Amino acid sequence: MILGHTIALDPTQDQACHLRRACGTARFAYNWGLAEWRRMHNAGEKPSANTIKRRWNAFRKSQLPWTYDVTKCASGQAILDLGTAFNNFFRDCKKPKRQRKFRYPRFKRKSLNESFDIWADQFDLDWDKVRIPKLGWVRTRENVRLCGVIMGATVSFSGGRWFLSVQVDAISERQPAPQGTVCGVDLGSRTLATIAGTDSEADAESVSGPKPRRRLLGRIKRLQRRISLQKHRAKKLGIKASRRQYCRQLRLSKLHARLANIRKDAAHKLTSDLTRRFETIVIEDLNVSGMAKNHSLAGAVLDCGFHEIRRQFQYKAAMHGGRIVIANRFFPSTQVCCKCGCLTGPKGREALHIERWVCAECGAEHNRDANAAINLRSLGLAKPELTCGDMAPLPACVSIPASTVDEPQTETVLTFEHI
Ligand SMILES: [Zn+2]
């Protein structure tokens, strides 16, 4: 399994300057390749990453001596990436419009988040340093903790810091999770996750998320307002952005990085803990983009980082030899009573605030999230044949309204019940 290990770098000022130049070279090569690709296409030729790379090498030899100041991987990999971008785009063109993910490659612009790649045979790692070609040894904050074959690395600048991300084809040394253990995880915005490892509601654990957005939003808004005002002024006067403006943008990018780090930390703690303890984990397939369309929910929903949690669950379960079962988007985990199986629970948008409810059929009192987690767990127990990442089919008693299949808009209304 290929895993990335991101390590903070500690470059000196001169070294940071060199790294920035390498990022710039990578960007230049990408843009040059894209322009060349378009030119070849318009001239009726058949461009490919290899022909572009050959032309780039000939062109830089005669015209661009400064590209030799930095490692050849920076520009070489950028052009290979351009080829991948075009391949993805052309492959997507054959799919129906709604399933497409990739757009036509666009020119890159100078930004505060940049990177370049280094090939595996071009760099060396020592205990607390890395040797970058044409630069020399740069200090790192820690050593690579994964065992396996090193596939390559990316040097990137984000949130005001330099990072080295090493891709390793790792050998998993993790302990397998205890056999036969199943848990249901109900993800929500009020409590980040409610975990049911047994059939009893009293045993359900709840993990409250950090909600960093609520805390940092004021500062982000203020900075963004200032930056946009300044941009507007500069445009009106026809001047370049000032040094102070650059610092402000850097401060904003640091704030965003902090937000992301807080989110990632919570997600890693949750997923590591659960994949260690349970062999099978059942989660819901939440329609996050649909829920984010509702303005009153969007912030709270996006603050949880559900997508990241699901991604981490999947690769960590594979590392521990476990599996993740994904419940269908229309599985009514909140509405089913876990005692009698009747659809008597809170339903619809109006019932979003209900935390406790009593089943009208059997009279059992339920906690909304714990009940949902138990239902998800039973789904995992009932379907031992599903493998990691499989979507569980809907039970026969649940039917999707015909209208929701055709119209994606009504789908969003249905999924509000999960939060
Ligand atoms: Zn009941």
| pLDDT tens by residue, 361-376 | 888 889 989 999 999 9
Distance 14 CA to ligand 1 centre (A): 68
Structural contact between residues 175 and 276, judged by C-beta atoms closer than 8 angstroms: yes
- Please tell me whether residues 84 and 128 are part of one structural domain: yes
Structure pTM?
Answer: 0.82
- Please tell me whether residues 94 and 69 are part of one structural domain: yes
Distance 365 CA to ligand 1 centre (A): 8
Using alpha carbons, list the distances in angstroms from residue 365 to 48, 211, 236.
64, 29, 63
- Whose CA is closest to 317, among 275, 261, 349, 284? 275
- Please tell me whether residues 312 and 397 are part of one structural domain: yes
Distance 184 CA to ligand 1 centre (A): 19
Q: Is the pLDDT of residue 263 over 60?
A: yes
- Please tell me whether residues 164 and 197 are part of one structural domain: no
Cβ within 8 Å of residue 106, ≥6 positions away: 34
- Please tell me whether residues 146 and 193 are part of one structural domain: no
- Please tell me whether residues 47 and 195 are part of one structural domain: no
| Strand residue runs (E) in 112-219 | 114-119, 124-125, 129-132, 136-140, 148-158, 161-170, 182-187, 193-196, 205-207
Q: Please check whether residue 89 lies inside any domain of the structure.
A: yes
Distance 306 CA to ligand 1 centre (A): 29
Q: Is the pLDDT of residue 416 over 80?
A: no
- Please tell me whether residues 136 and 195 are part of one structural domain: no
Q: Please check whether residue 215 lies inside any domain of the structure.
A: no
Number of domains in the chain: 2
Find the CATH number of the domain harbouring 398: 3.30.420
Structural contact between residues 358 and 364, judged by C-beta atoms closer than 8 angstroms: yes
Structural contact between residues 52 and 39, judged by C-beta atoms closer than 8 angstroms: no
CA distance 250 to 243: 11
Structural contact between residues 44 and 11, judged by C-beta atoms closer than 8 angstroms: no
- Whose CA is closest to 184, among 169, 170, 201, 167? 201
Distance 361 CA to ligand 1 centre (A): 5
Q: Please check whether residue 214 lies inside any domain of the structure.
A: no
- Please tell me whether residues 70 and 159 are part of one structural domain: yes
CA distance 175 to 335: 36
% of the chain beyond a pLDDT of 90: 55
Q: Please check whether residue 321 lies inside any domain of the structure.
A: yes
Q: Quick one: pLDDT band at residue 418, thresholds 50, 70, 90?
A: very low
- Please tell me whether residues 318 and 397 are part of one structural domain: yes
Q: Please check whether residue 314 lies inside any domain of the structure.
A: yes
- Please tell me whether residues 51 and 190 are part of one structural domain: no
> Average pLDDT in the 247-260 region?
93
Distance 369 CA to ligand 1 centre (A): 15
Q: Please check whether residue 379 lies inside any domain of the structure.
A: yes
- Please tell me whether residues 270 and 164 are part of one structural domain: no
CA distance 75 to 24: 9
- Please tell me whether residues 122 and 190 are part of one structural domain: no
Question: Pick the residue with more confidence: 171 or 141?
Answer: 141
Q: If phi over 0 gives left and psi between -120 and 50 gives alpha, with beta otherwise, what is residue 62?
A: alpha
Q: Please check whether residue 244 lies inside any domain of the structure.
A: no
The number of beta carbons lying within 10 Å of the beta carbon of residue 184 is 30
Q: Does residue 183 sit in helix, strand or coil?
A: strand
The position carrying tokens 């138990």 is 374
Distance 376 CA to ligand 1 centre (A): 16
> Average pLDDT in the 248-264 region?
92
CA distance 136 to 130: 8
Q: Please check whether residue 62 lies inside any domain of the structure.
A: yes
Q: Does residue 105 sit in helix, strand or coil?
A: coil
Joined together, the tokens standing for residue 418 give 């999960």
pLDDT at 400: 53
- Whose CA is closest to 326, among 185, 206, 181? 185
Distance 346 CA to ligand 1 centre (A): 12
* Domain enclosing residue 87, as ranges: 2-170
